């Protein structure tokens, strides 16, 4: 990874942090009555102060590679990050993964309480659509509503929510998942939102259908590389490095890319997905303006947490 | 209440039930991967088989009074009902109201389990936006995105989610809420979505701003009448009549319209809101085509559960 890439990732994370901080202010928007302090604080706790902001980065850099900068990709990125953060808050709940630690801090239900964490998650999910549908996101209603539809499909029962359900079921299944079941689970649980993060950049930039489809393929391959890398990380890292509990997968005896393909096999699979992602960028007709997206594919494969 | 009104309420409920049943089918929509059986079943459990469908009724009848019928108001109504049903599933959770009974059936976390109920709620909330943003709802993207924005604002931190937070805080507050605090809480917790149900009908029908504003005022007054009636019902009914646990408010020692105004005072307040709702229909310029909405205002005040 180049030092430039790291700098750019950090710069985008700071822009997203500042934008989310402003969006999650105490002043009610038109149509809102008041923003009650406690749930707002819990939403801010869940959404601010951490994370690589990989999804926002993908949205903003995809749009940028296509010539679109400014509020539209930034707000779309913030909405997608709200959905990602809500999913972490809910997944950490006692009834779900029951995690006490996230990004090295107490999880939301530990810092607040369970009821507040459930509501904060609900609030962040809803807020994502309030951001996207707002005329401040894009002057063209067709663009805004395409973002709403894409986000809802990626994060709902046929995407992230469904993937979390499959993940929970896998833990109590009699036999570990096989390769195709894991791929489907991961494509839904984390892949769909990563893919949509890229697609959202193409949508705000008004990409033509063929280019948009190629970028969706890039996002899908990058998401797959991310998932395999995640299993590798879980098998190789300590909790301290991850900022969350490590070795959870083996502990729970559910199938992973590592348990099926071995560590070396999983690394080969990961690298194949990276190559696939990079090929899709060529397909999308991106030259040097696509360099940062190429680096992003390498980054998700090589990240240390 | 006329027999005609009851018939119409039932007829709309049946149309909504059939439409939700079809929308929540097992076939994935474009952009979805698969719809995992367990979370789909839990979403169907939460959304189908019960309820007066008051919010859908308001959307459909408001649109109808303005000359709009067909898929657009029906789908908008279904989306709003999904949000209402998700809120019931999450509010019933052990960490929230901890209710075992809803509409005379086990609550979702009792019929399934807590994790599945959380996910089903998340799934229904997300699904609402997938319905609204879909081109099948309305040919005009401006209409679809206005529905998304209005629903997000009404149901998020400055609306329903925030109202639930205030409600939870009220239970552990040192002193019961006063009249203005209760009005704000109720306006957020149940009022915002009832108001938006009416507004959504005006949006799909393309109502002019002044008429839309008058209908919003109708929805707001009707929502207020509903909330006061709810407190009266809770004080007067048995669990058997309600299909859920009665007398919860007094038990929890939080302020209600009845505890502040007494039973007779609360009934006068309820009737004043009904009059206000009916005056707003005159303001909206509705003659006999508004009769059903007038009856709806009386209905929410007089309902027995």
Best of A80, A133, A166 to mutate (most B CBs within 10 Å, chain B): A133
Q: A3 falls in which pLDDT band (50, 70, 90)?
A: confident
Tokens of A174: 């009699």
Share of chain B above pLDDT 70, in %: 94
Residue from B122, B164, B171 whose CB has the most chain A CBs within 10 Å, to mutate: B122
Residue B239 has pLDDT above 60, yes or no: no
How many Å apart are CA B69 and CA B62, to the nearest integer? 10
Confidence bin at B248 (pLDDT 50/70/90): low
Q: Which residues contact B229 (CB under 8 A, 6 or more apart)?
A: B270, B300, B301, B302, B303
Among candidates B120, B118, B33, B23, which has minimal Cα distance to B76? B23
Which residues from A are below 8 Å from B165, CB to CB?
36, 38-39, 116, 119
Digit-coded pLDDT (tens) for B45-91: 999 987 899 999 999 999 999 999 999 999 999 999 999 999 999 99
Tokens matching residue B6: 């009851």
Contact between chains at B38 and A151 (C-beta distance less than 8 A):
no
Assign A50 a pLDDT band (cuts: 50, 70, 90).
Answer: confident
Mean pLDDT taken over chain B: 93
The interaxial angle of helices A3-23 and A291-302, nearest 10 deg, is 90
Residues A244-295: pLDDT tens digits?
Answer: 565 565 555 678 899 899 999 999 999 999 999 999 999 999 999 999 999 9
Return the CATH number of the domain spanning residue range B3-302: 1.10.600.10
Q: What is the ipTM of this complex?
A: 0.95
Q: What angle do CA A125, B72, B189 make, to 5 degrees?
A: 40
Q: How many CB pairs (< 8 A) connect A and B?
A: 205
Please, which contacts does B167-175 make with residues 24 or more away whose CB atoms are closer than 8 Å? B167/B254, B168/A115, B168/A116, B168/A119, B168/B96, B169/A36, B169/A38, B170/B254, B170/B255, B171/B252, B171/B254, B173/B254
Per CB-CB distance under 8 Å, the chain A contacts of B162 are 32-36, 39, 123
Chain B, nearest residue to A188 by Cα: B33
User: Which tokens in the block code for residue B270?
Assistant: 């309820």
B238: which 2 tokens?
A: 């048995």
> What rounded mean pLDDT belongs to chain A?
93
CB-CB neighbors (< 8 A) of A34 in chain B: 158, 162, 184, 188
Q: Summarize pLDDT for B83-132 with one digit per residue, the tens.
A: 999 999 999 999 999 999 998 899 999 999 999 999 999 999 999 999 99
Pair of tokens at residue B292: 């059903």
Write out pLDDT tens, residues A217-256.
999 999 999 999 999 998 887 655 655 565 565 555 678 8
Inform me whether the pLDDT recorded for A102 exceeds 80. Answer: yes
Mean pLDDT throughout A19-29?
A: 97
* Chain A, nearest residue to B129 by Cα: A152
- Taking only the tens place, the pLDDT of each residue in A189-213 is 999 999 999 999 999 999 999 999 9
Q: Which of A35, A90, A154 sits opposite B162 (nearest CB)?
A: A35
Residues in chain A with CB shorter than 8 Å from the CB of B90 are 118-119, 122
Out of B40, B157, B166, the one facing A157 most closely (by C-beta) is B40
d(CA B59, CA B296): 12
DSSP-derived pairing of the beta strands B101-102 and B105-106: antiparallel
User: A126, B152: Cβ pair inside 8 Å?
Assistant: yes
CB contact under 8 A, A43 and B116: no
Cβ of A162 and B127 within 8 Å?
A: no
For residue B304, pLDDT over 90 is answered with no
Torsion from C-alpha of A103, A107, A112, A118, nearest 10 degrees:
120
Nearest to B152 among A90, A133, A168 (CB): A133
- At A125-149, the pLDDT tens digits run 999 999 999 999 999 999 999 999 9
Q: Is the pLDDT of residue A67 over 60?
A: yes
The SS3 of residue B52 is: coil
């Amino acid at each position: 990874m180049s030092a430039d890439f790291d700098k750019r990732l950090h710069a985008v994370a700071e822009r997203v942090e500042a934008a989310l901080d402003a969006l999650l202010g105490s002043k009610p928007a038109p149509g809102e009555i008041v923003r009650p302090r406690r749930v707002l604080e819990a939403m801010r706790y869940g959404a601010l102060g951490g994370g690589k902001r990989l999804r926002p980065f993908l949205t903003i850099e995809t749009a940028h590679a296509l010539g679109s900068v400014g509020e539209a990709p930034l707000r779309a990125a913030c909405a997608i990050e709200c959905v990602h953060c809500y999913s972490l808050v809910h997944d950490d709940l006692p009834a779900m993964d029951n995690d006490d630690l996230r990004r090295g801090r107490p999880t939301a239900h530990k810092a607040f309480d369970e009821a507040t964490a459930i509501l904060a998650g609900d609030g962040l999910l809803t807020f994502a659509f309030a951001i996207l549908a707002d005329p401040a996101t894009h002057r063209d209603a067709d663009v805004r509503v395409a973002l709403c539809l894409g986000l809802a499909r990626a994060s709902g029962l046929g995407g992230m929510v469904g993937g979390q359900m499959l993940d929970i079921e896998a833990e109590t299944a009699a036999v570990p998942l096989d390769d195709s079941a894991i791929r489907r689970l991961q494509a839904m649980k984390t892949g769909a939102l990563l893919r949509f993060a890229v697609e959202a950049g193409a949508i705000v930039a008004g990409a033509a259908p063929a280019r948009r489809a190629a970028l969706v393929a890039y996002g899908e391959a990058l998401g797959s590389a991310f998932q395999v890398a995640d299993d590798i990380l879980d098998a190789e890292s300590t909790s301290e490095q991850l900022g969350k509990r490590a070795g959870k997968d083996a502990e729970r005896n559910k199938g992973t890319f590592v348990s099926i393909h071995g560590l070396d096999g999983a690394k080969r699979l990961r690298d194949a997905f990276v190559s696939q992602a990079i090929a899709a960028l060529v397909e999308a007709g991106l030259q040097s303006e696509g360099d940062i997206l190429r680096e992003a594919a390498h980054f998700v494969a090589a990240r240390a947490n």
